[in-house]
Amino acid sequence: MKISEAFIPTLREVPADAVIVSHRLMFRAGMIRKLSNGLFAYLPLGLRSFRKIETIVREEMDATGSLEIKPTVVVPGELWKESGRWNAYGDALMRIKNRTGADFVVSPTAEEAFTALVRDELSSYRQLPISLYQINTKYRDEVRPRYGVMRGREFMMKDAYSFHTDEKSLDETYRKMGTAYRRVFKRCALTVIPVQADSGAMGGSGSEEIMVESEIGDNTLLLCRCCTYAANVEKAGCLPDYTAQPDTDAAKAAAAGIPPIEKIDTPNVKTIEELCAFLKTDAKSFIKTLVYKAINVELDLSKTPGSMRPEKRSSAAGLPAREAQAYPEAFFAVAIRGDLDINETKLSALLKAASVELAGEDDVRRITGAPVGFAGPVGLGTVPLIADLSVTTINDGICGGLAKDLHYRHAAFGRDFNAWMVADVRTVRAGDRCPQCSGELYEKKGNELGHIFKLGSKYTDSMNVTYLDEDGKNRVTIMGCYGLGLDRTLASIIEEHHDEDGIIWPMSVAPYQVIIVPIKYEGAVKQTADSLEAALERMKVECLLDDRDERPGVKFKDADLIGIPVRIVVGEKNLAGNAPRVELKRRSEKENRLVPVSSIVDEVTGIIQAELAGLDS
Residues that bind a second copy (CB under 8 A): 5-7, 9, 33, 35-36, 39-44, 47, 50, 65, 67-76, 78-79, 91-92, 94, 96, 98-99, 106, 113, 116-117, 120-121, 130, 132, 136-137, 139, 141, 143, 153-154
Closer residue to a second copy (CB): 76 or 217 = 76
State the DSSP code for 383: S
The helix or strand, by DSSP H or E, that contains position 568, with its residue range, turns out to be: strand 566-570
Longest dimension (CA), the chain: 101
Smallest separation, CB 43 to a second copy (Å): 5
Distance (Å, whole) CA 89 – CA 355: 12
The minimum distance between CB 41 and a second copy, in angstroms, equals 4
Nearer to a second copy (CB atom), residue 87 or residue 598 = 87
Q: How far is the CB of 136 from a second copy (least distance, A)?
A: 8
Name the nearest CA neighbour of 107 among 182, 65, 161, 60.
Answer: 161
Q: State in angstroms the smallest separation of the CB of 132 from a second copy.
A: 7
Least gap, CB of 68 to a second copy (angstroms):
6
DSSP letter for each residue of 94-119: EEEE-TTS-EEEE-S--HHHHHHHHH
CA distances from 408 to 264, 378, 384 (A): 6, 8, 20
Residue 102 vs 613, nearer CB to a second copy: 102
Q: 9 or 596, CB closer to a second copy?
A: 9
Q: Compute the distance between CA of residue 440 and CA of residue 434 in angstroms, rounded to an integer.
A: 6
Helix (H) or strand (E) holding 250: helix 248-254
Residue 376 beta carbon to a second copy: minimum distance, rounded to whole angstroms: 41
Whose Cβ is closer to a second copy: residue 66's or residue 390's?
A: 66
> By C-beta, is 24 or 186 nearer to a second copy?
24
- At closest approach, how far in Å is the CB of 96 from a second copy? 5
Q: What is the rounded CA–CA span in Å between residue 568 and residue 316?
A: 70
In this structure, are residues 31 and 43 in contact, taking their beta carbons and an 8 Å threshold? Answer: yes
Strands 219-224, 441-456: parallel, antiparallel or unpaired by DSSP? antiparallel
CA–CA separation, 319 vs 6, rounded Å? 54
Q: How far is Cα 242 from Cα 237, in angstroms, rounded to an integer?
A: 14
Residue 257 CB, nearest distance to a second copy (Å)? Answer: 59
Q: Phi/psi of residue 346, each to 5°?
A: -65, -40
129 vs 565, which CB is nearer to a second copy? 129
Which residue(s) pair with 421 in the sheet?
386
Q: Which is nearer to a second copy, 158 or 337 (CB)?
A: 158
Residue 157: CB atoms within 10 A of its CB come to: 22
